[in-house]
């Protein structure tokens, strides 16, 4: 039987990713909390509630991460906790974040701090949210407070998580607050978020000499149903442009491209020290002249593909490789800042994890500068509009008791992280069916 071990560099970061509103609990001062109280907004009427109780007991999960041999963890700061009213800073909240970061350091875990992950302070929402004429200045003022307080414990900053998903969810698809369906408004929001990213990039560098600042971007693949059909191809290209490329063009190349805008975005150019890739899935796209509101396209899944729970999408690990190859042109460090699947009974996750890690290894062989991987996520958390129905955790959470139970994937990930490698033994133990896929011959 063919045997090969896929090695990773010894300084590779093996981490998990989280977001404040999804794990902290009782984040009552942001727009998501308000949204969750409205009927019909969240699957099965769920609310975030106590979530994973991180505000009080994040250390329980830090211990789990350390025991798994992880050396990195991405967590966020909740703007609405830090700046409780315009200009009013809660220093006790900043102290708690310092304590968390210190706790990670003490466990040998390098923190990456996200400054915005979907949730906005209610006071900002009441003044128009990301359409507020001064939102860029408001965001950078908050960022400055956080960097001054937390800078002692980290230099690795992620400004904004997925401006494209925030915009799509809130202003185009409408399943996130404020539940609008107006792409023109959405693109204005996206432009402001990207401007705010650039302003935060500059501000952080002014405050911290050795700061490493990036952005986490969700890349989804859009492939034509009929690859040689020009209209399907065009429909897929338009989706790719609108969802994936506009952000990269703005913050790397310094250009606004349609459909977001057209023209120079010079102040945004090269505002990345590293790129954060959040990769989950892909869509097949078919032209549909009636689907005007959807940019003339219908999305579907490959009938051959393995579909993820809750119809989350196709299991499409090759997208990891394709995305990394595309991003390599920037020639800056890349972190996979999120990747994972919803899978309560863990019957797909070990396979998915092995396949995605393997695709990442392939990219490394092609000299793509991938420096780390943050699995989404450590412990089941509040999955936005899907509530608690899509558990992404390596660890299962019992919401009632806060009890944690490791899924087999947690042991698998621990073994990969501890050995900096994907071995044939792990394939045999966790997904023997992959031998022919990963080790053919
Ligand atoms: C978001 C996470 C979310 C994950 C899984 C990402 O788009 O950043 O907050 O939980 O996807 O759906």
Mode of pairing for the β-strands spanning 370-375 and 13-17: parallel
Alpha helices in 240-276 (DSSP H): 246-248
* 386 CA closest ligand 1 atom index: 12
How many angstroms is it from 425 CA to the middle of ligand 1? 31
In this predicted structure, what is the pLDDT of residue 170?
Answer: 98
Report the interhelical angle of 54-67 vs 91-106 (nearest 10°): 10
Residue 284 in contact with ligand 1 by CB distance below 6 A: no
Say how many CA atoms lie within 13 Å of 305 toward its Cβ: 20
**Which atom from ligand 1 is nearest to the alpha carbon of 165?**
7
User: What stretch of H or E contains 125?
Assistant: helix 122-126
The pLDDT, as a whole number, for residue 191 is 98
pLDDT at site 441? 74
CA distance 237 to 223: 8
pLDDT number for residue 1: 73
Give pLDDT tens digits for 310-342.
Answer: 999 999 999 999 999 999 999 999 999 999 999
Instruction: Report pLDDT for 10.
Output: 97
Average pLDDT over residues 173-192: 97
The tokens for 294 are: 């959807």
Closest CA to 373 of 394, 398, 389: 394
What's the pLDDT tens digit per position in 290-311?
Answer: 998 788 899 999 999 999 999 9
CB 343 within 8 Å of CB 309: yes
Model confidence at 2, in pLDDT bands (50, 70, 90)? confident
Q: What pLDDT, in 10s, does the model give residues 69-105?
A: 999 999 999 999 999 999 999 999 999 999 999 999 9
C-alpha dihedral (185, 186, 191, 192), degrees to nearest 10: 80
pTM over 0.85: yes
> For residue 171, is pLDDT > 80?
yes
The pLDDT of residue 294: 82
pLDDT tier at 185, thresholds 50, 70, 90 = very high
pLDDT of residue 197: 99
Question: Which stretch of DSSP H or E encloses residue 349?
Answer: helix 349-365
pLDDT tens figures, 356-406: 999 999 999 999 999 999 999 999 999 999 999 999 999 999 999 999 999
pLDDT at 341: 98
Q: Mean pLDDT across the stretch 409-421?
A: 98
**Tens of pLDDT, residues 12-59:** 999 999 999 999 999 999 999 999 999 999 999 999 999 999 999 999
| Among 302, 316, 395, CA closest to 351 | 316
Nearest alpha carbon, ligand 1 atom 5? 383
| Residue 226: DSSP 8-state | S
Q: With pLDDT > 70 as the criterion, what percentage of the chain qualifies? A: 100
**How far does CA 99 lie from the centroid of its chain?**
24
Yes or no: say if 338 and 305 are a contact pair by the CB < 8 Å rule: no
Rounded Cα–Cα distance for residues 380 and 400 (Å)? 13
Confidence of residue 3 (pLDDT cuts 50, 70, 90): confident
Q: Which residue has the higher pLDDT, 296 or 151?
A: 151
The verdict on the CB of residue 18 being under 6 Å from ligand 1 is no
Q: pLDDT-derived band of residue 219, with 50, 70 and 90 as boundaries?
A: very high
Mean pLDDT along residues 243-261? 97
**Residue to probe by mutation, ligand 1, list 343, 384, 387, most atoms within 8 Å of CB:** 384
Return d(Cα 237, Cα 48) in angstroms, integer.
36
pLDDT at 104: 99
**What tokens does 103 get?**
């706790």
Closest C-alpha to ligand 1, atom 12: 383
How many residues are recorded in the chain?
Answer: 441
Distance CA 181, CA 179 (A): 7
The answer to whether 104 touches 152, Cβ cutoff 8 Å, is no
Q: Alpha-carbon distance 407 to 394, whole Å?
A: 6
Which residues, including other chains, have CB under 8 Å from residue 402's CB and lie 6 or more apart?
A: 50, 52, 53, 57
């Amino acid at each position: 039987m063919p045997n090969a071990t896929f090695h990773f560099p010894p300084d590779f970061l093996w981490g998990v990713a989280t977001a404040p509103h999804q794990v902290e609990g009782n984040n009552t001062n942001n727009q998501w909390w308000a949204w969750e109280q409205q009927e019909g907004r969240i699957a099965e009427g769920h609310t975030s509630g106590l979530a994973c109780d991180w505000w009080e007991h994040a250390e329980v999960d830090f211990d789990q991460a350390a025991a798994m041999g992880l050396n990195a963890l991405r967590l966020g700061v909740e703007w609405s906790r830090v700046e409780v009213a315009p200009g009013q800073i809660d220093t006790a909240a900043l102290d708690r974040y310092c304590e968390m970061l210190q706790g990670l350091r003490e466990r040998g875990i390098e923190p990456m701090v996200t400054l915005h992950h979907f949730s906005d302070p209610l006071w900002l929402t009441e003044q128009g949210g990301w359409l507020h004429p001064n939102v860029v200045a408001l965001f950078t003022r908050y960022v400055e407070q956080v960097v001054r307080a937390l800078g002692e414990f980290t230099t690795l900053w992620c400004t904004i998580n997925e401006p494209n998903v925030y915009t799509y969810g809130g202003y185009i698809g409408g399943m996130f607050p404020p539940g609008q369906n107006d792409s023109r408004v959405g693109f204005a929001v996206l432009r402001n978020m990207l401007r705010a990213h650039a302003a935060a990039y500059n501000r952080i560098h002014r405050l911290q000499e050795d700061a490493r600042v990036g952005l986490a971007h969700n890349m989804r693949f859009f492939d034509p149903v009929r690859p040689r059909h020009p209209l399907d191809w065009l429909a897929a290209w338009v989706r790719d442009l609108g969802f994936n490329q506009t952000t990269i063009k703005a913050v790397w190349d310094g250009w606004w491209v349609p459909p977001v805008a057209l023209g120079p975005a010079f102040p945004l150019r090269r505002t990345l020290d590293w790129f954060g890739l959040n990769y989950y899935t892909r869509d097949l796209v078919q032209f549909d002249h009636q689907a005007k509101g959807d940019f003339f396209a219908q999305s579907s899944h490959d009938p051959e593909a393995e579909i993820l729970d809750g119809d989350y999408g196709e299991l499409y690990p090759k997208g990891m490789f394709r995305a990394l190859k595309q991003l390599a042109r920037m020639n800056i460090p890349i972190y996979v800042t999120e990747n994972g699947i919803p899978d309560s009974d863990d019957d797909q996750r070990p396979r998915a994890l092995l396949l995605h890690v393997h695709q990442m290894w392939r990219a490394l062989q092609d000299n793509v500068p991938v420096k780390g991987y943050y699995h989404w996520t450590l412990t089941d958390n509040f999955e936005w509009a899907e509530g608690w129905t899509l558990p992404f955790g390596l660890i299962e959470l019992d919401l009632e008791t806060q009890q944690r139970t490791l899924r087999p994937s947690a042991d698998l990930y621990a073994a990969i992280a501890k050995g900096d490698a994907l071995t044939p033994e792990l394939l045999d133990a966790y997904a023997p069916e992959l031998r022919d896929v990963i080790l053919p011959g």
